[in-house]
Amino acid sequence: MFILLKSGECYTPESIGKKDILIAFDKIYKIEDEISKEKLWDTNIIDCTDKIIIPGLIDQHVHITGGGGEEGPVSRIPEIQLSEIVSAGVTTLVGVLGFDSITRNISNLLAKANALQTEGITSYIYTGSYSIPTSTLTGNVVSDISLVDKVIGVGEVALADYRSSHPNLQMLKELASEAMTGGLIGSKAGIVHIHVGDGKEGLKLLFRLIEESDFPIDMFIPTHINRNKKLFEQSLEFLDMGGFIDITAGESSEKGYSLPDAIEKLIKDNKNLDNVTASSDGNGSNGGNGICKMSQLFDDMRDCIIEKKIDITSVLKVSTTNVAKFLKIYPQKGTIKDGSDADILILDKETLNIDTVIIGGKIFMKNGEIIRKGKFESNIN
């Protein structure tokens, strides 16, 4: 199956102007100023005039089996559905377990990731949960990362949160060692993905770990760092040291910083945006009966461009290229270039609303309508 995108304004996320893009099966085959449709058989031609073409988003923090559980069994959030992911413009994700590792487990998380992969979404997972020692599939973090294809790191391990297991420095060192060893053996990122709560310590334990060990700083990524202003200031120090930080979509600027306000502040402070990523915390608990929406990531990005007037390339990088490089899946993911996976969003040029979603060379959304749904979605709806 071939798809030819004609005359779209293309961002890789760098702007490369108006281009034609030929997709062959699941890959981007060719990008040129003009590609003739002559001699192209069985080709779906999409007119992208007055449209913007960007890479599909990569969301590295999604509760694919459902988050929550802090208010008893009734507060357990259901598994995410395919259409929620597609409508959010996400083409690659990393599933996390989160707080509840008693009624949910890594086997369940892996099974859901495999199901989403079968339905078309590139899916990875972190082994582990809030606590240390953490939940695993095979009995330890090293073998999970090195032997299980979809496991690329450990997380979301909780710090500075009353729901954490309150790990000490030695426990965090041992976990980091396992993640790094697993990454080396399995030729993977070996990430330690860290949930940071509103606790008084903030990133202090992480700073101590970096100062008192030889672990590379770029194997750690604290997330939710915009949840309060003190934590955000700490994260800027971590960023200046060469670390990565992950901004959560949907946060308020009353206590912390919204994603658009956080990106704006980083630019004004001349910070290195190449080490900044953004994620949705999708399908996690948002307090009470609230559920974090995956679509909030795209909505916040759009606000960065429309409301804050931040250039498209800078905004796109935090949820495409930067994430792909951190997860060590670039340039297969996170960019539009010859040979990359055909994960593409087509946006309306004026509103920046998502018009078309292409994942692995297949059309999942067309003219703003979902045309591919999950196996049981029609029964649920």
166 is in an annotated binding site: no
Extract the tokens encoding 269.
């402070």
Tokens of 164: 């954490």
Classify strands 90-95 and 122-127 as parallel, antiparallel or unpaired: parallel
Judge contact between 83 and 377, C-beta under 8 A: yes
Phi/psi for 356 (5° steps) reads -140, 140
Q: Is 281 one of the annotated binding-site residues?
A: yes
The residue type at 229: K
Cα dihedral value 115, 107, 287, 121, nearest 10: -20
What 3-state DSSP class applies to 114?
helix
Tokens 């750690």 belong to which residue? 220
Query: Of 301, 263, 297, which Cα lies nearest the Cα of 280?
Result: 297
Q: Is position 63 annotated in a ligand binding site?
A: yes
Residue 61 labelled as part of a binding site: yes
- Residue among 316, 317, 143, 163 nearest 244 (CA): 317
Task: Specify whether 218 is catalytic.
Answer: no
Following DSSP, what letter does each residue of 124-185 receive, concatenated? EEEE--SSSS---SSSSHHHHHHH-TTEEEEEEEEESSTTS----HHHHHHHHHHHHHHHHH
Is 300 labelled a binding residue?
A: no
What span, in angstroms and rounded, lies between the C-alpha atoms of 247 and 224?
6
CA distance 214 to 235: 20
Token duo for residue 187? 């030729």
Return the residue matching tokens 């308020």.
Answer: 252
d(CA 147, CA 85): 27
Q: By C-alpha distance, which of 9, 6, 4, 14 is closest to 335?
A: 14
Q: Which of these is catalytic: 281, 299, 343, 355?
A: 281
Amino acid of residue 266: L
The annotation places the binding site at 61, 63, 195, 224, 281
Residues with catalytic function: 281
The annotation places the binding site for Zn(2+) at 61, 63, 195, 224, 281
